Structure 1
Amino acid sequence: MADSTDIGHGDQPAPSAETETPTANATTHIKWYRSTFYNITILGLCNFAAPGIWGAMNSLGAGGAESPKLVNAANALTFCLMVVSCYFSSGLVVRYIGIKGALIFGTLGYAPFAAGLYTNNRFGTEWLVLLGAALCGISAGVFWMAEAAIAIAYPEPENRGKALGYWLTFRLGGQILGGAINLGLNAKNNQAGKVSYTVYLVFIALQATGPFVALLLTPPEKVQRRDGRAVTLAIVDAPWAELRATTRQFFAPKFLSIVLFIGQAVFAEAVYFTYLDVWFSVRARALGSFLAGIVAVISGNLLGLWIDRNSVALRVRARSAFFIIITLQGAWWTWITVNVARYHHSRPTFDWVDPGFGAAFGVYIFLTIGFQINYLFLYFIIHNLAGESEPDIIRYAALLRGTESAWQAVSYGLTSLTLFAEVGGVYFNFLLWGLSLFPAWLVIRHFGSGSTSIEDSSEHSDSTIDHSGVSPAKALAVSSNEPVLKEE
């Protein structure tokens, strides 16, 4: 990833965190295996092997099963355990084995879940699905925290949006690969039902590579950034002190204000995957997995380029992205609400040769795009809340992923119920979208305006000092390469 030459307003280049604080590891020659591009690639490959392949299985429609009940219940168990493992990940896991060790540990539980789906699909075994879901939940919460912290902290500020888009591309790569494999194996299956069990053997093999790929990550202290800034991502506080700090950040108004916005973004995954399973044939589900992944990759990377565009004020980038995302989401939830209200009575199973397939299938593609751009935008929000404080990045990453997990546990749990799977999930997610908008706006409206705190009623006040001793206006400008503007 090349350095950006964009500057802020006026003729002067935008100041950066690196110009404010001298760094000890400035380097004139960067070893390729220490570079941020290499490490984001390794992180992406881990994402592909673990949650990417997990997403590939779910994008087949409820894990490729004939009925969504068992798989959605197992996913609910996974996300319940992820809430716990996310919460303890910073104070215990990172504190004792470091961020790289946390990433390796986090990849271990995914393959057992795939094995459970395989035995269920082929032999009807149910207990291994639940055991695999539990093992996945224990490890995946740690993985989610670790990868989020690495994705935010490793790249240079001017490349962070592009790095996020590039990293999240690998997760969708798993979905695309899974869809392509499944489409090839089931191209002639135009009926509802479960997918071929052969698919899972490929998935198990890919997920088993995750820990070995994670071993290739450069430890934070050895990363060589183009700007010379050191990366540490270490937790030095005692475990209980760290847990208290994380808890305080969760209950701060600025984080509580985005809890519903996180919910409307991630609750959708179970809803549209279940929608695909309930109303479409096996080969149509495979086609959906394949195509949705491709268009989501494109849209996510376009958003990453936009939020990195430092020639545009942070205020403009944040607000424009927010309003575009919520407007599109509103349109798509309206569309799918009309669909499921009709399908609940007509009980169709759509194949790609059937009348009405386009209207039914198109909204699934758009909701997948919505999930991807919402997901990337959440990292943009978290970065602007945390600034350049690496302990705060770890804590906010844990809080973001733990909150996501809690919402997804509720989502998958509810969609294991027949009525909720068919119509209730869509109705609830539409309502959640509407309720989330104003609280999220209370936080986002401060980005680029001198404060990220909703407790501060003035957008132009720099009287409050943050954890680093820098005024919020200056901290925001520094963390985003924005020039520090004088308060009016």
Structure 2
Amino acid sequence: MAQAEPYLDKALTNTTVSEQVLSSTKHPVKWYRSTWYNAVVLGICNFCAPGIWGAMNSLGGGGEESPWLVDTANALTFCLMVLTCAFSGVFVKYIGIKWTLVLGAAGYCPYAAGLYCNNRYHTEWAVLLGAALCGLGAGLFWMAEAAVAMSYPEPHNQGKFLGLWLMFRVGGQVLGGAVNLGLNSEKNHAGAVSYSVYEVFIALQALAPFAGLLLTVPEKVQRTDGVKVMCGIPRDESVFTELAATARLFVSKGFVLIIPLIAQAVFSEAVFFTFQGLWFTIRARALASFLSGIVAMIAGNLLGLLLDSQKLSARMRSRSSFIIILGLQGAWWVWGCIIVTEYRRTQPLYDWIDMGFGRGFAWFLFMQFQMNYMYLYFVVGSLAKNDAEIVRMAGLLRGTESAAQAVSYGLCSIKVMGEVGTIYLNFGLWAVSIIPAWFVVKEIGVTIGRVRDVKDVDTSSNEVGEQKVSGERQ
């Protein structure tokens, strides 16, 4: 099969026909303006903010003795994130993508502080306050980082950019697991982790907004293909116009079809974090946090290489990734349903020295939340038709994720749902999502996407005419 030639949509302001010409010539860039520099900066922000948040939650129930309070707090966080994601485009319009990222990153530290206060002083209200402040900031951060991840990199580097960025995120989980494992390696019983762990987490999350200051503003980013990065909302539009444009995108056919795909992917986070907190000892939870991050790093970067592969056509990359990820996910859900049905009956508490530990522990490692997460960016990024839509799509993606996770954490705070119900429900969401998502995925590289497969592209003209879109070339 011959390599397909890239076709770039005329509707994309920063990906016109000139990119076809420029992509064949590597333009010199300053390292501190490059897309890879910004991938690292974005990764550091991700490491310190949501990465450490994930580290705390990957301990099972935020590291607390019981997961129910933290599941309730997380539901509050994601409810507020829906609100801030919905209005995130307005923030970008007035303060820009960089300062929106910095402002959002500042909201994470109170979350760790709340868990610390409850762990040491038993002040449950601090957990809820920290969760609320986190929700107000995290919605802005999530939208901003998603917009940067989808708009900054060159098309042929987007998968690797996403892989590097998300590697930093799970790096926070790996570090958190390592610290917690070192402090709690002798605790082969249920209970809360040491409050000293939270002191490390607070310090790291406090660094996140300062790391965000290192991000290059879009107009100064230098890409190797010579294309200017545009990541913002026109200031001459009113707030009402911006919100109306976002609402139209939300009800567009392409986005509506992938809502179940988004929901099933992110719903699972609360499911397996609660699973871990219920059935495993402190040190086993710490080991799971550490190892699952390493597995996610490897899997995420392999997916990035597949999405960027120039040996496969764009549509083949999107379709094969979809089949692999969703196929494996279905197998894991069957496995998970069998395990939790047994656990609810026997009520075990597993340590790594116990017989039967490996079955449930391996399921937690194999769930691969990050692969689902990374693939969502690839799909949603393919739906955007211009620069402003990238920002709006990022907000819609993160808002939809937040709504699904708010429901998930809320349900997991109910004992029977946390033990078995949410896993059954997530399996159902997976099944419902496949057919609608396929209608979108099969068009990536054909009628949608930054890069498309065509037989002939006339690069001598300054305008992109009508291009005949071919199928897979033999």
- The alignment's TM-score, normalised by the length of structure 2, stands at 0.91
- 1:411-450 matches, cutoff 5 A: 411-450=408-447
Amino acid at match of 1:377: Y
Output the CA distance in 2 between the equivalents of 1:77 and 1:376: 24
CA–CA distance in 2 between the matches of 1:148 and 1:377?
A: 12
Q: Take 2:289 and 2:376, find their aligned partners in 1: how far apart are those partners?
A: 23
Q: Which string of whole-angstrom CA distances, capped at 9 and with x for unpartnered residues, describes residues 99-132 of structure 1?
A: 0010000101110110000000111101111111
The aligned residue for residue 458 of structure 2 is none
Query: Match of 2:350?
Result: 350
Q: Give matches, 1:359-398, under 5 Å.
A: 359-367=359-367, 369=368, 371-387=369-385, 389-398=386-395
Unaligned runs of 5+ in 1: 1-6, 453-458, 461-468, 475-482
State the alpha-carbon separation in 1 of the partners of residues 318 and 295 from structure 2. Answer: 22
User: In the alignment, what sits opposite 1:253?
Assistant: 253
Q: Distance in 2 between matches of 1:406 and 1:347?
A: 31
1:448: how far off? 2.3
Distance 2:81 2:177 in 1: 26
- 2-side partners of 1:127 and 1:434: how far apart? 38
**Letter aligned with residue 264 of structure 2:** Q
SS of the counterpart of 2:191? Answer: coil
Asked whether 1:485 is paired with 2:470, we answer: yes
SS at match of 1:67: coil
Out of 76, 81, 103, the position equivalent to 2:101 is 103
* Distance in 2 separating the partners of 1:223 and 1:451: 25
Give distance in 1, aligned partners of 2:68 and 2:426: 19
Question: Contact conserved, 2:446 with 2:470, CA < 8 A, in 1?
Answer: no
Q: What is the alpha-carbon distance in structure 2 between the residues aligned to residue 57 and residue 451 of structure 1?
A: 38
The alpha carbon displacement at 1:19 in A equals: 6.5
- Equivalent of 1:168, from 159, 166, 177? 166
Structure 2 Cα separation of the partners of residues 319 and 149 of structure 1: 23
Q: Partner amino acid for 1:441?
A: W
SS for the counterpart of 1:21 is: helix
Deviations 1:400-456 (A, max 9, x none): 01000000000001101111110111111011111111111111121223357xxxx
Q: Is the 8 A contact 1:27 1:224 kept in 2?
A: no
**Given that residues 75 and 409 in structure 1 are in contact (C-alpha distance below 8 angstroms), is that contact kept between their aligned partners in structure 2?**
yes
Contact 2:34–2:221 (8 Å) recurs in 1: yes
SS at 2:87's partner residue?
helix
> Is 2:69 the partner of 1:70?
yes
1:74-473 correspondence runs (5 A): 74-90=73-89, 92-236=90-234, 237-367=237-367, 369=368, 371-387=369-385, 389-451=386-448
Query: What do the CA deviations read for 1:21-40 (whole angstroms, capped 9, x no partner)?
Result: 3799x995421111111111
- Contact kept in structure 1, 2:118 and 2:124, CA below 8 Å: yes
SS of the residue aligned with 1:234? coil
CA RMSD of aligned residues (A): 2.3
For residues 220-273 of structure 1, what are the alpha-carbon distances to aligned partners after superposition, in whole Å with 9 as ceiling and x for unaligned?
Answer: 101111111111212112211111011001011211111111111000000000
1:74 deviation in Å?
0.5
Stretches of 4+ aligned residues off by more than 3 angstroms: 13-19, 21-24, 26-29, 483-488
Contact kept, 8 Å, 2:184 with 2:193, in 1: the verdict is yes
Could you tell me how far apart the structure 2 residues matched to 1:487 and 1:313 are? Answer: 7
1:8 to 3, 12, 29: 3
Q: Is the contact between residue 8 and residue 14 of structure 1 (CA under 8 Å) also seen in structure 2?
A: no
In the alignment, the residues of structure 2 paired with residue 346 and residue 322 of structure 1 have an alpha-carbon distance, to the nearest angstrom, of 36
CA-to-aligned-CA distance 1:281-330 (integer Å, 9 cap, x gap): 00000000000000110000000010111331111111111111111011
Post-superposition offset of 1:8 = 3.5
- CA gap of 1:74–1:396, structure 2 versus 1, over 3 A, is same
The residue type paired with residue 175 of structure 1 is Q
> Which structure would you say has the larger RCO, counting Cα contacts within 8 Å and 6 or more residues apart?
2
Tell me how far apart the structure 2 counterparts of residues 428 and 410 of structure 1 sit (CA, whole Å). Answer: 11
Q: Give distance in 2, aligned partners of 1:226 and 1:442.
A: 33
Question: Please, which runs of 5 or more residues in structure 2 have no aligned partner?
Answer: 10-14, 455-462
2:65 and 2:47 mapped to 1: Cα distance?
A: 25
Kindly provide the amino acid, as one letter, of the partner of residue 291 in structure 2. L
TM-score by length of 1: 0.89
Residue number in structure 1 paired with 2:39? 40
Shift of 1:345: 1.0
Asked if structure 1 preserves the Cα contact closer than 8 Å seen for 2:313 and 2:472, the reply is no
